[in-house]
Amino acid sequence: MQRDNSYYPRTRSRRLRKNSKIRKLISENRLEVSDLIWPIFICEGDNVREPISSMEGVYRLSIDNLLKDAQYAHSLGISCVALFPSINANLKTMDCKEAINPDNLINTATKVLKNKCPELLIMLDVALDPFNASGHDGLFDGNRILNDETVDMLAQQAIIQARSGADILGPSDMMDGSVGKIRDTLENEGFFETLIMAYSAKYASSLYAPFRDALKAKSKLVGDKKTYQMDLSNSDEAMRNTYRDLNEGADMVMVKPGAPYLDICYRIKTTFGVPTFSYQVSGEYSMIMGAIKNGWLDEDTAIFESLMCFKRAGCDGILTYFAPKAAVLLSK
């Protein structure tokens, strides 16, 4: 075979792969523990650590155990946790009034954790689904999800969460106008420093199923969320939503789910140049963890690869249930 001497062997790509020192020297992206946000499920009770069957290794924690695990995460260098409440069925109603109870599970957990570990950032979801008898993120009249009525309630929920000590609010409701209304309300109430990470590109995905198990919201869901979450065949629409949320006062934006939507992450980051996050959601976690548990994938390398791809796509940070495991492997 004739060699094409115009490039080979003068250009041997393998020279740059010769050993780990050289590979590291030229590596284009780094995954660091400071990139990670850890989502945690909380529940009522004392000393509860209840396994979630569809999420191997993830638990519903009572507040006392939340304190232990959050402090452990902090000691590993994780700087932010995102809390999600799994509340008792009798508190889930059609008017979702538990969402605006200042002493509900999530607000209590936030106050207690902030008091115990003030340096740890706390992110809270702004949405009604944990409190909704219909399982939806907005108020449901039996027929439609009511946009403007929901937005009014989300603004109240957000203020109460900010008062409880939340550093970052994540409106995940996908109602129109929620980011602007929440921002205005925060400003009016003097919460000038509360950050908003808008779920600007949140798709109606099959990959949220284990999360809905974790919140005990799966069997409750009436219909689907397609009238408010995005159609997964769209990409331009994600740009429009992101543009809108930034104009309405979002500090950071998020794409969700994660790895199957890296094209969206890349487009948002290159178009807007704003802090861009991705949520490696419950279904992605369960797929990877399921394969690890079966011995089909190697734990450390599979987790690392599943997270590094977000950095390559331009994300600044990642919400991931692997956060503590990833923090440990990154310190090795």
- Residues that are catalytic: 202, 256
Query: Minimal CA–CA distance to 147: which of 170, 123, 195, 181?
Result: 181
Binding to ligand PBG, residues 261-280 (CB under 6 A): none
CB-wise, 155 or 295, nearer to ligand PBG? 155
Which residue of 35, 98, 137, 245 would you call a contact of ligand PBG, by CB under 6 A? 137
CB of 286 to ligand PBG, least distance (A): 9
CB-wise, 96 or 281, nearer to ligand PBG? 281
Distance CA 170, CA 90 (A): 25
**Quick check: 127 binds ligand PBG (CB under 6 A)?**
yes
Which residue of 134, 164, 278, 282 would you call a contact of ligand PBG, by CB under 6 A? 282
**Quick check: 292 binds ligand PBG (CB under 6 A)?**
no
Q: Judged by CB under 6 A, which stretch of 143-151, 176-184, 207-215, 230-238 contacts ligand PBG? A: 207-215
Q: Which residue is nearest to ligand PBG (CB)?
A: 211
**Quick check: 208 binds ligand PBG (CB under 6 A)?**
yes
**Quick check: 98 binds ligand PBG (CB under 6 A)?**
no
**Quick check: 86 binds ligand PBG (CB under 6 A)?**
no
Helices 323-330 and 63-75, packing angle to 10 deg? 20
Distance CA 316, CA 305 (A): 16
CB-wise, 191 or 228, nearer to ligand PBG? 228
User: How many of the chain's residues bind ligand PBG (CB under 6 A)?
Assistant: 11
Which residue of 98, 125, 213, 248 would you call a contact of ligand PBG, by CB under 6 A? 125
Q: Judged by CB under 6 A, which stretch of 30-38, 177-185, 208-216, 266-274 contacts ligand PBG? A: 208-216
Helices 147-164 and 105-116, packing angle to 10 deg? 30
**Quick check: 255 binds ligand PBG (CB under 6 A)?**
no
CB-wise, 256 or 269, nearer to ligand PBG? 256
Q: How do beta strands 317-320 and 36-43 pair?
A: parallel
**Quick check: 134 binds ligand PBG (CB under 6 A)?**
no
CB-wise, 116 or 152, nearer to ligand PBG? 152
Q: Judged by CB under 6 A, which stretch of 7-15, 115-123, 138-146, 204-212 contacts ligand PBG? A: 204-212
**Quick check: 62 binds ligand PBG (CB under 6 A)?**
no
Which residue of 281, 297, 318, 330 would you call a contact of ligand PBG, by CB under 6 A? 281
**Quick check: 213 binds ligand PBG (CB under 6 A)?**
no
Summarize as ranges the residues that interact with ligand PBG (CB under 6 A): 125, 127, 129, 137, 172, 208, 211-212, 225, 281-282
